[in-house]
Each structure stands twice: as structure tokens, then as C-alpha cells.
């Protein structure tokens, strides 16, 4: 199995919810570390299932949203592949000019002759 890191967003208002979330995450098989970053629970493990953990947290806390699942070694690979000081080729945003077109108003004389606008009933 490969090392995975996933982030679960929770509503951690008080310490009771925070400890319940930490206990739930730690009891999963293969979990190596669990950290709390604001309202996010960051779990790193080998062979852990993010979906099962998210459903367990939903049952116990009421709200849990799985934000991301990444490999645990991804940060090391990115740092090795991209040399520092390299300027990326960034293209400027181009907004094409939008021409406004107004439809012409055509008045047909005699088109409204069958209506008698001036009559008072």
C-alpha cells in the first residue's frame, strides 16, 4: 500500500467534538498521524480508507466533508522536479471585446389602424 494523506472538513466548535473526531480517526486501521488544523482534520496513513472514515465522522459528529486525498510523498516529488528560481511561462488574460448590437425598431404605418386608441367606452 502507499502512504496517503487526506483532509476532512468538520464543524469543530468545542473540545468535545474535537476529541471525538480525533478518537474516531485514530481507531482506524493504518492511521499513522492525525492533526487538527482549524476546522480541518488531516489524516496520514498507510492503507486507510478515507470514505469509511468520513462516514464514521458523519455518524458521530453530524457533518464531515472529504476535501482532498493525496499521496503522502507528493510534496517531496514536487520539490525535486521543479528547480527554484524558474520562471513559469504565464500568458496574460485576454478579454475579447464584445460588440453590443441593438436591434432596430421598425414602425409600420397602418399596422395599428384596427385598434381605436382614442375611443372612450
Is the residue at 63 inside a domain? yes
Is the residue at 93 inside a domain? no
Q: Using CA atoms, how far apart are residues 6 and 96, in angstroms rounded to an integer?
A: 40
Is the residue at 110 inside a domain? no
Global model pTM greater than 0.85:
no
Each residue's pLDDT tens digit in the chain (121 positions)? 678 899 999 988 888 999 999 999 999 888 999 999 888 999 999 888 889 999 999 999 888 999 999 986 655 555 566 556 666 666 666 666 666 666 666 666 665 556 555 555 5
Q: In this structure, which long-range contacts are made by residues 25-28, counting pairs with CB atoms below 8 Å and at least 24 apart in sequence?
A: 25/53, 25/57, 28/52, 28/53, 28/56
100 three-class SS: coil
pLDDT value for 86: 65
Is the residue at 101 inside a domain? no
Expressed as residue numbers, the domain containing 34 is: 3-73
Is the residue at 34 inside a domain? yes
Q: What is the CATH number of the domain that holds 63?
A: 3.30.70.100
pLDDT value for 117: 57
φ/ψ of residue 2, rounded to 5:
-105, 155
pLDDT value for 84: 62
Is the residue at 30 inside a domain? yes
Nearest by Cα to 2 from 74, 75, 81 = 74
Is the residue at 117 inside a domain? no
Q: How many domains does the chain have?
A: 1
Amino acid at each position: 500500500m502507499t502512504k496517503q494523506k487526506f483532509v476532512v472538513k468538520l464543524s469543530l466548535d468545542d473540545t468535545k467534538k474535537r476529541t471525538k473526531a480525533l478518537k474516531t480517526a485514530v481507531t482506524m486501521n493504518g492511521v499513522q498521524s492525525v492533526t487538527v488544523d482549524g476546522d480541518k482534520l488531516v489524516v496520514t496513513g498507510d492503507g486507510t480508507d478515507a470514505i469509511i472514515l468520513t462516514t464514521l465522522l458523519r455518524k458521530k459528529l453530524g457533518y464531515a466533508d472529504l476535501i482532498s486525498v493525496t499521496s503522502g510523498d507528493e510534496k517531496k516529488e514536487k520539490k525535486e522536479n521543479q528547480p527554484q528560481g524558474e520562471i513559469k511561462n504565464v500568458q496574460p488574460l485576454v478579454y475579447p471585446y464584445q460588440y453590443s448590437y441593438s436591434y432596430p425598431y421598425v414602425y409600420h404605418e397602418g399596422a395599428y389602424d384596427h385598434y381605436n386608441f382614442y375611443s372612450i367606452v
